[in-house]
């Protein structure tokens, strides 16, 4: 990217940050600081300077000959020197030891609690990384931090992206239900049977019903994974078999459905389910085909896998810290805008559906099966669907009692 000079010669400190994992509190940030001529700062932080719309980023310590500065910003001393537009660019670039093109390079940190080989990493995030690098000519890249490297525990993913611990985070809406009450309605069994179908249904009504839940972050993707199976250590192919079963659903909000089926809901993140099944803490989980095989390998700790059950969906997201997004160049923001929303969400859905297809193949080819595969009869499935319908009515009433209006209408819009 060339350093284009225009008529104005003001320099603004657009953002100052330690790193994606340790941001300075807002009270200690300078926004739109407009000195006369040029203001030189000595700061032990990474600095991004916007010179007439061209962003130049430098090394962690930049010294331009002014005494060490103090906080807060109103105590900053200014050093004024007069430069022509061209000479300022030359001096700045030389001081940074970088060309303008290299200085604009940005690397986005991506936090996920999932293991490196998980299909969201090898699928969606690989696609995203390749696209942003190709479209930017290499000036915009991403670095993946899998398996909780930027913080353990999937429940904290939303907090990590909001607070800037990561530039981008992958997470599960059900782990922060108070933040996404309307999005959670996409979890409920309905018309869709695949992640692609469910994800498209969400985006058909996203702007009307869900967008307000994502204010303060940049939405890259919202998509689903289909929970088509009951996986565990009990035969739950009938309502009688479900009675008293300790069942892990996709979200606590589906408790009325689980109870209508006769089971006992137990909440547990996916990262703990293998141990829960092996120790008997839980009996059965709602899961997908890819939960059966690698990387989760629930078939190792299950005696029964039940198919043709009411399909629930886990709603997931890839979100970007809004301040980090706004701090990027116009060119880089445009690239992210082109990829985010439905395109990246469908890549997310394809990651899950593709993993399911691979797992189905592995399951069919497996010779040493330590579990029984059961397909629910149509008659028994009708009984289950009737129980689900009764549970839905309880859920809609609960939403109304909590002041979240229109739950039934949103559910119906998702299942047109």
Separation in Å, CA 49 to CA 15, 322, 372 = 8, 19, 62
Give 361's contacts (C-beta < 8 A, 6+ positions apart).
Answer: none
- Taking the whole predicted model, whether its pTM rises above 0.95 is answered as no
Label the pairing between strands 246-248 and 284-287.
parallel
The helix or strand, by DSSP H or E, that contains position 335, with its residue range, turns out to be helix 330-339
Mean pLDDT of the chain: 82
- What percentage of the chain has pLDDT greater than the value 90? 75
**pLDDT given for residue 104 in this prediction:** 81
Q: Quote the CA–CA distance of 158 and 317 in Å, as a whole number.
A: 9
Q: Which residues contact 66 (CB under 8 A, 6 or more apart)?
A: 40, 41, 42, 77, 78, 79
Q: How confident is the model at residue 19 (pLDDT cuts 50, 70, 90)?
A: very low
Task: Name the segment(s) of the chain with CATH classification 3.40.190.170.
Answer: 106-181+193-216+316-353, 227-314+355-414
Burial class (CB in 10 A: 0-12, 13-18, 19+), 208: exposed
Q: What is the pLDDT of residues 132-182, one digit of tens each?
A: 999 999 999 999 999 999 999 899 999 999 999 999 999 999 999 999 999
Q: How is domain 106-181+193-216+316-353 classified at the CATH fold level?
A: D-Maltodextrin-Binding Protein; domain 2 (3.40.190)
**Superfamily of the domain at 227-314+355-414:** Bacterial extracellular solute-binding protein, family 7 (3.40.190.170)
**Cα separation of 4 and 206, whole Å?**
39
Residue that wins the pLDDT comparison between 218 and 38: 218
Which residue shows structure tokens 């299942």?
415
Among residues 125, 141, 360, 288, the alpha carbon closest in space to that of 220 is found at 125
DSSP code for 25: P
Instruction: Report the pLDDT averaged over residues 375-382.
Output: 98
- CA separation for the pair 53, 47 (Å, rounded): 15
Rounded Cα–Cα distance for residues 138 and 156 (Å): 31
Prior bond to 72 cis, omega within 30? Answer: yes
Look up tokens 């989980």; give the residue: 285
Distance CA 284, CA 345 (A): 29
């Amino acid at each position: 990217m060339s350093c284009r000079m225009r008529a104005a010669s003001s320099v603004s400190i657009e953002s100052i940050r330690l790193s994606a994992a340790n941001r300075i509190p807002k009270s200690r940030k300078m926004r739109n600081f407009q000195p006369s001529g040029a203001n030189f700062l000595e700061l032990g932080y990474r600095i991004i300077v916007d010179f007439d719309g061209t962003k130049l980023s430098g090394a962690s310590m930049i010294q331009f000959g002014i005494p060490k500065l103090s906080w807060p910003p109103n105590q900053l001393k200014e050093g004024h020197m007069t430069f022509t537009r061209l000479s300022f660019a030359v001096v700045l670039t030389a001081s940074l030891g970088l060309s303008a093109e290299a200085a604009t390079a940005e690397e986005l940190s991506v936090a996920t609690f999932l293991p490196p080989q998980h299909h969201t990493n090898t699928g969606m995030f690989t696609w995203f990384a390749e696209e942003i690098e190709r479209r930017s000519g290499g000036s915009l890249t991403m670095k993946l931090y899998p398996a909780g490297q930027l913080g353990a525990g999937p429940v904290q993913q939303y907090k990590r992206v909001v607070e800037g611990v990561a530039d981008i985070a992958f997470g599960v809406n059900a782990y922060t239900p108070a933040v996404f009450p309307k999005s959670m309605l996409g979890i409920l069994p309905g018309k869709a049977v695949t992640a692609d179908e469910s994800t498209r249904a969400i985006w058909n009504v996203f702007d009307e019903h869900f967008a307000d839940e994502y204010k303060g972050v940049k939405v890259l993707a919202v998509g689903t994974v289909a929970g088509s199976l009951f996986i565990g250590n009990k035969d739950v192919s009938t309502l009688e078999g479900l009675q008293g079963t300790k069942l892990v659903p996709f979200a606590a909000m589906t408790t009325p459905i689980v109870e209508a089926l006769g089971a006992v809901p137990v909440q547990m993140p996916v990262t703990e389910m293998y141990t829960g099944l092996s120790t008997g803490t839980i009996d059965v989980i709602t899961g997908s085909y890819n939960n059966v095989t690698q990387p989760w390998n629930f078939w190792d700790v299950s005696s029964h896998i039940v198919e043709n059950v009411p399909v629930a969906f886990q709603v997931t997201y890839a979100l970007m810290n809004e301040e980090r997004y706004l701090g990027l160049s116009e060119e880089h923001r445009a690239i992210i805008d082109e990829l985010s929303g439905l395109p990246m969400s469908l890549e997310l859905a394809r990651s899950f559906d593709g993993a399911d297809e691979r797992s189905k193949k592995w399951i069919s080819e497996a010779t040493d099966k330590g579990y029984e595969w059961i397909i629910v009869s149509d008659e028994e499935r009708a009984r289950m669907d009737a129980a689900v319908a009764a549970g839905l009515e309880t859920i809609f009433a609960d939403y109304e009692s909590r002041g979240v209006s229109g739950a039934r209408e949103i559910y119906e819009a998702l299942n047109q």
